[in-house]
């Protein structure tokens, strides 16, 4: 009976450690979207976060789509660590797109949107 009890305790310890290990592979991503000219928030900007590599699990999402609040902030909890492509689309601004490495338990990224540039024509 003694070896069986020891095996049961070891299995319980492993089972308890597995969810903790899975939690370590996620982060809380906070994006703040501001105007470049005066650093005021951009409300209702469309945000797309797509994970291109990293520790993705089959049952987890790899793309998030949302909009910023009135303060120009969006917070995405429980996103996987690794490389993420962030795209911001807002009316009256250039579209932003860049790759970000997510390595910390809580990531904060500030994005400055530029006004649209004038078109250049060769003719």
* pLDDT tens, residue by residue, 104-117: 989 999 999 999 88
Query: pLDDT digit string (tens) for 52-64?
Result: 765 555 556 678 8
| CATH pick for 27-113 out of 3.40.190.10, 1.10.1040.50, 2.60.40.1120, 3.30.1490.110 | 2.60.40.1120
Please state the pTM of the whole predicted model. Answer: 0.71
Provide the residue ranges of all domains of the chain, joining segments of one domain with +.
27-113
**Smallest Cα–Cα separation from 117: which of 36, 63, 62?**
36
86 dihedral zone (left: phi>0; alpha: psi -120 to 50; beta): beta
- Measure the CA–CA gap between 103 and 52, rounded to whole angstroms: 14
Max Cα separation, the chain? 89
What mean pLDDT comes out for the span 15-38?
76
pLDDT of residue 82: 87
The phi and psi torsions of 50 (rounded to 5 degrees) equal -125, 130
């Amino acid at each position: 009976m003694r070896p069986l009890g020891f095996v049961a305790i070891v299995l319980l310890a492993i089972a308890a450690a597995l969810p903790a290990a899975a939690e370590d592979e996620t982060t809380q991503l906070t994006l703040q979207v501001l105007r470049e000219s005066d650093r005021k928030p951009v409300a209702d900007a469309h945000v797309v976060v797509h994970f291109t590599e990293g520790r993705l699990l089959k049952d987890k999402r790899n793309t998030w789509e949302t909009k910023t609040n009135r303060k120009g902030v969006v917070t995405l909890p429980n996103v996987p660590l690794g490389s993420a492509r962030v795209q911001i689309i807002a009316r009256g601004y250039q579209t932003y797109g860049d790759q970000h490495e997510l390595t910390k338990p809580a990531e904060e990224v500030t994005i400055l949107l530029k006004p649209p540039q004038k078109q250049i024509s060769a003719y």
